[in-house]
A and B are shown apart, each in its own frame.
Chain A
């Protein structure tokens, strides 16, 4: 099967070659025989971009003709990864491009390897946004991403002597062939200043926003092709520029150095993506970033709408805006401000439009991750918006008061403004009050949002709450990243699964077919060999593809419990060297993930993983039964290499803490079996694949809540009663894994035993250990294992982001395909 439907005829091959030659010469300024791999990548990308632009203009025309409703997905993060391969597959020209380049003596894989990931996100939230763009385009829906064109994406991770070192990730935002600059659509964004009250012409109080500074938002569009190439939407990323770009006269007339300084400070706004968990450090800049995105987006969306409509009355009929978490929550105030101040609407009308337009997706249950901004800071940065937020809150609390008279506690709980020193604006509450829809991202998570996170709001507006279980695009995560498995699936059931993942259920018929199982396992073996080479090249550890590849690949965070995995590894190691027990299945433990630069405990856990790996990997007594490796610089392109090679997928967060997870879906889709807690979307994976095809362990949300509330959890009880736990903890507390740095891992030991083990590592340890044992036993029987693997792949239909987007479109956005 050719990858994708090839639209081009044989002439297409020559056209493509001519286009590449043209761009090498006239865009790159080089003769073909002097072009480096990087030059060739640029030229190939530009050749592909030409086709994307044709598709984008045609798509835009189609939407205009039908006056289609459009969806704008506002997100501070879009983790796009590499674009070339994905675009080639989705345009249906992968094989054509490969043949064309081969004919020119160029290896397409080497060209693809020259591309730098667009790492404009931290993890799941940003990657979800990228998957959604792919699905919207594939479904022919007018959906656009709106984000920031960070000059530096998430930092590049280097591991130096077991320690994470952060290096700047300069992804060449200005030079990437995928972005089209739209200077003529730049918009003005005022920020800072003060409010001056003055009477308007009718004698009423008129607050005027004075003394602001101006930023200019310059949009850059990254085309997003749907599968088949019929629809090409785009991701619009804004770069911050100083106002001098609006009028260069400042350089001619004014103080040159002052002007340059001002220009630099303005451009800082889109300089760098904040790593999650470390926003505290640069609060003001982050707030300005959030506002910058929102202001540029609202301005741009209204401008586009008014290009084809006379008034804003029916705005919400033609525009939907989704807030990806609370980061763009200021959209509530900005849309209100724009409608009232700039378009002279009355409050009530503007409020109805705002609510009908906006929807809010909650992504976290962790209280510390719920955004709040100090009132004095907001007043300093956005004085007019603060006024509007106060007015929204005043009217909202009137509503609450009317429903629950004399309930002061409830008013305080629900107020958008949290009392205290200083007062803070609760961005989640602002989002809920200003949206017509509030959704969680997995069934369990959505329930917990209603029952534990914000029950007061659920009581007030139950109809506003809904669930949209996350999904991932099978085009990137299976078709593109696992070509061998994709081909096997297509040969077996046809290629309809590429746009309708429910079709993979037909593979169930082959779950007992020994020949099919063998093919399946051979593909996994080939993918593992490929990964083994990458591990050798990057982590300098030789691993054996015949061992079970046990993978935990995700951001480092205590709630995700990489530590529980390490504790189990230490237990295995101790069983091997002290108890002389043979391990049930030889294993390679593969970690990948970044820790926020300021997150001490997460960085120490990285250190522990590396140190444990160092000790185990060189201990001759282990005799090939275990290897531990942390593959540096986890990013989309690395995930695409690890996921197809994984046997076991570690999804072991403390129950109730992972909103959904999407790595769990990608891994299962690629034939890795899940070992996981009853958390996030693991529960729905369990429902789909059946409990005999997944390894579930650990405490439930209810059990954890009960133990937490009743103060019943004492990690010492587990330590004292379970010799395995005691031995593991003492190993961590001792210098076995840090012979040259006494006490290095003592903070982890103390955190677990002396500070209450907030994430219940010890409570879940024994259950985890026993479940790991079951998984290892199953792995030793390839026929049993292969059947489970096939059934997992076959039952992943629900976890396509096509399904998720169809639900959002139908139930929240009222968005239809325009084909």
Chain B
């Protein structure tokens, strides 16, 4: 599981570099994200623009991360491809995540 991260003010921007967020990548993804949260990054923007396939395990991992970041934290998702966005809608996960087309919009939203 490959990610790249950078700080934008209080917001941590995490870009998923894998093309697939599926059963094989899900656990790794969850661990990485847990690490970020436990290391004190409550505001996270997840940039998914490189991901072109998400299966239910990947989405399940994202929900776990969302729950973990609950309380004080916030998680925003940006840059989903059409196919991935369709998966979010299919599971109704688009209704629980804050979703943005552009990374900058997501950063602005969490910074406010």
Q: Which residues of A contact B (CB under 8 A)?
A: 188, 190, 193, 196, 198-201, 206-214, 243, 246-247, 249-250, 253-254, 341-343
Contacts and interface: CB of A to CB of B under 8 A. Distances in A.
Nearest to A211: B56
Contacts of A201: 95-96, 98
A208 B53 contact: no
B60 interface: yes
Given A188-B86, A190-B90, A208 B55 contact: no
A190 B87 CA distance: 9
B63 A198 contact: yes
B56 A213 contact: yes
B24 interface: yes
Contacts of A214: 55-56
A629 to B, nearest CB: 55
B13 interface: no
A246 B92 contact: no
Interface string B9-50: 000000000011010100000000000000000000000000
B59 interface: yes
B112 interface: no
B22 to A, nearest CB: 8
Contact of A210 (B67, B91, B95, B98): B91
Contacts of A198: 63, 67, 96
B70 to A, nearest CB: 10
B89 interface: yes
Contact of A211 (B20, B60, B95): B60
Contacts, number: 61
Given A190-B56, A193-B56, A342-B86, A208 B24 contact: no
B20 to A, nearest CB: 6
A253 B24 contact: yes
A208 B20 contact: no
A254 B24 CA distance: 8
Contact of A209 (B19, B90, B96): B90
A260 to B, nearest CB: 16
6 closest Cβ pairs, A-B complex: A200-B95, A342-B89, A212-B56, A209-B91, A206-B95, A208-B92
Interface string B61-103: 0010001000000000000000000110111110110100000
Contact of B92 (A206, A211, A212, A250): A206
6 contacts: A198-B96, A210-B56, A214-B56, A253-B20, A341-B89, A342-B90
B61 to A, nearest CB: 11
B53 A246 contact: yes
B90 A341 contact: yes
A200 B67 CA distance: 12
A212 B58 CA distance: 11
B83 to A, nearest CB: 8
Given A190-B56, A246-B53, A199 B90 contact: no
Contact of A243 (B55, B59, B63): B55
B92 A341 contact: yes
Contact of A200 (B19, B22, B96): B96
Contacts of A246: 53
Interface residues of B, number: 23
Contacts of B22: 250
A196 B63 contact: yes
Chain A contact residues: helix, strand, loop or mixed = mixed
A206 B96 contact: yes
Given A211-B56, A341-B89, 10 more contacts: A200-B95, A201-B96, A206-B92, A208-B96, A211-B57, A211-B60, A213-B56, A253-B20, A341-B90, A343-B89
B8 to A, nearest CB: 22
Contacts of A249: 19-20
Contacts of B67: 198
A211 B53 CA distance: 15
Interface of B: 19-20, 22, 24, 52-53, 55-57, 59-60, 63, 67, 86-87, 89-93, 95-96, 98
A246 B93 CA distance: 22
Contact of A199 (B52, B60, B96): B96
A247 B96 contact: no
A201 B59 CA distance: 17
Nearest to A342: B89
Contacts of A210: 56, 59-60, 63, 91
B87 to A, nearest CB: 8
B25 to A, nearest CB: 9
A250 B91 CA distance: 22
A743 B47 CA distance: 76
A192 to B, nearest CB: 9
Contacts of B95: 200-201, 206
A635 B63 CA distance: 53
A213 B56 CA distance: 7
A338 to B, nearest CB: 9
A209 B20 CA distance: 20
B75 to A, nearest CB: 12
B98 A208 contact: no
A193 B92 CA distance: 14
A284 B41 CA distance: 46
Contacts of A199: 96
Contacts of A254: 24
B57 to A, nearest CB: 8
Contacts of A188: 86-87, 90
Nearest to A190: B90
A392 B96 CA distance: 24
A507 to B, nearest CB: 58
A206 B97 CA distance: 11
Contacts of A190: 56, 90-91
A199 B56 CA distance: 19
Nearest to A207: B92
Nearest to B59: A210
A722 B91 CA distance: 68
Contacts of A341: 89-90, 92
B40 to A, nearest CB: 24
Contacts of B53: 246-247
A339 to B, nearest CB: 11
A185 to B, nearest CB: 14
B73 to A, nearest CB: 15
A356 B106 CA distance: 39
Contacts of A206: 92, 95-96
A190 B55 CA distance: 10
Nearest to A187: B86
A247 B96 CA distance: 27
A91 B63 CA distance: 56
Interface centre among B56, B89, B92, B95 (most CB of A within 10 A): B92
Nearest to A209: B91
A321 to B, nearest CB: 20
Interface centre among B59, B89, B90 (most CB of A within 10 A): B90
A213 B24 CA distance: 14
B92 A209 contact: yes
A744 B93 CA distance: 62
Contacts of B57: 211
Contacts of A208: 63, 91-93, 96
Nearest to A198: B96
Contacts of A207: 92
B2 to A, nearest CB: 13
Nearest to B60: A210
Contacts of A243: 55
Contacts of B89: 341-343
A186 B55 CA distance: 16
B90 A247 contact: no
B30 to A, nearest CB: 14
Contacts of B63: 196, 198, 208, 210
